[in-house]
Amino acid sequence: MKYFKHCLIAAGLFVSCSLFAQQRNTFKPQKALLDTIDNNIKLSVSQYKYMAAQLPQGQFPKTFYPATNKAETSNSGWWCSGFYPGTLLELYEQTHDVALKTEADRILKLLEKEQYNTHTHDLGFMMYCSFGNANRLSPNSQYKQILLNSAKSLSTRFNPAVGCIKSWDSKPSDFLVIIDNMMNLELLFWATRETGDSSFYKIAVTHANTTMKNHYRPDYSSYHVINYDAQTGAVKEKKTAQGFANESAWARGQAWGLYGFTVMYRETKDKKYLDEANRIAGFILNNPNLPADKIPYWDFNATNIPNALRDASAGAIMASALLELARYTDKQDGRKYFNAAEIVLKSLSSPQYKAKPGTNGGFILQHSVGHFPAGTEVDVPLTYADYYFLEAMERYKAFAAR
């Protein structure tokens, strides 16, 4: 408690832990869906062993193009490099299959060097989804040092004048921040818990507060990119690079924000973050363009709805976030979030989205959208879709254990 109070004071927060204690709502999972999840995990193990066997030496899986039957891979510097080892470790946790741990250990060795990468804001994705899971399952000093170095590298991108961590490098006068960056703050909270150094905590809280102020519209949809003046912190532009238009609601961006502010509440117990997460959830779940199966179109404002492509990755991230948020909010909203996540999990478990064994390049889910305007990774499997699908299934199973 002494440590927790220290962090709150250091961040300038004056929050009563007793008043805003996390709620622990519990809801009863459906046995049929739990059985489906068990089958999904068996399929996932088979798929990822197949993927591992096809993976070129020194490479990380990126996507697969069914039309040409060709896989695309990346080096360790790609922002998604942490999801493959993270997924292997999630599966190992569920099955205790040693072959999965062996492959995770192999690929983690290739990823280690990214702990010193100061040219990306994605070290949370890259290092916390990988080494964070490894350390959670088998704590050791080497994993902890890698994670701490990663947090230090991420912190170098923080600009106090702007109050944010820079996302994309650009010309010196620009300071580009994307909503995805909310997902990288969890690494910084871990670093403060591990070391007692509140500077990481302060950066995370300041970044979140600035994002709340500038990324969100009155309806609690989010822009994708804010361009700040690097010297003064003034907002220069508000854009949506990977969405349909600047004023549209890019689906995965909405899911990143929902997840990120749920984590902010978990880590700080500050009710303003719970309120923000609830409002974002309200925008998503009450949106007239959210389909009945709860798998979003790639952009909520795409002009060709209902014929627009769906984004399974946005659905998976959303489901995982809602299952955590359901525990913290009031029972009525919690039930709504839990039920919505159930629908997403059922949908993603259907043949429409779940791959058949031995297909899809070893990926679990089909039909995600990476960057539609650029024409890259469109209607294909993606590593982060699989990662958050498995996380969502694990979180759903956890309700049965309570």
Give the residue numbers annotated as catalytic, written as ranges.
122, 180
Q: What are phi and psi of 101, to 5 degrees?
A: -65, -40
Is 256 within any annotated ligand binding site?
yes
Q: Which of 99, 86, 85, 81 is nearest to 45 (CA)?
A: 99
**Helical H runs in 215-372?**
251-268, 271-285, 312-328, 331-348
Q: Which of 334, 400, 321, 277 is nearest to 25 (CA)?
A: 334
Q: Which of 338, 312, 308 is nearest to 325 (CA)?
A: 338
Which amino acid appears at position 64 of this protein? F
Q: Could you tell me the CA-to-CA distances from 242 to 225, 239, 321 in Å, in that order?
A: 9, 9, 21
- With beta carbons less than 8 A apart as the criterion, state whether 111 and 81 touch: yes
Q: How far apart are the first and last CA of the chain?
A: 25
Is 402 within any annotated ligand binding site?
no
- With beta carbons less than 8 A apart as the criterion, state whether 296 and 290 touch: yes
Is 106 within any annotated ligand binding site?
no
Q: Give me 55's structure tokens.
A: 């993976």
Can you tell me the distance from the alpha carbon of 33 to that of 221, in angstroms, rounded to the nearest whole number?
31
Q: Could you tell me the CA-to-CA distances from 221 to 153, 216, 217, 304, 328 in Å, in that order?
A: 30, 6, 6, 20, 21
Q: Which residue is associated with the tokens 């902010």? A: 264
Can you tell me the distance from the alpha carbon of 98 to that of 222, in angstroms, rounded to the nearest whole number?
42
Q: Give me 20's structure tokens.
A: 């805003």
Q: Which of 364, 389, 369 is nearest to 51 (CA)?
A: 364
What helix, strand, coil percent values describe the chain, rounded to 5?
Answer: 55, 10, 35
Is 386 within any annotated ligand binding site?
no
Kindly tell me the burial class for residue 249, based on how many C-beta atoms sit within 10 Å of its own C-beta (0-12, 13-18, 19 or more).
buried
Q: Is 242 helix (H, G, I), strand (E, B) or coil?
A: coil
- With beta carbons less than 8 A apart as the criterion, state whether 78 and 62 touch: yes
Is 102 within any annotated ligand binding site?
no
* Binding-site annotation: residue ranges for substrate: 122, 180, 240, 252, 256
* Binding-site annotation: residue ranges: 122, 180, 240, 252, 256
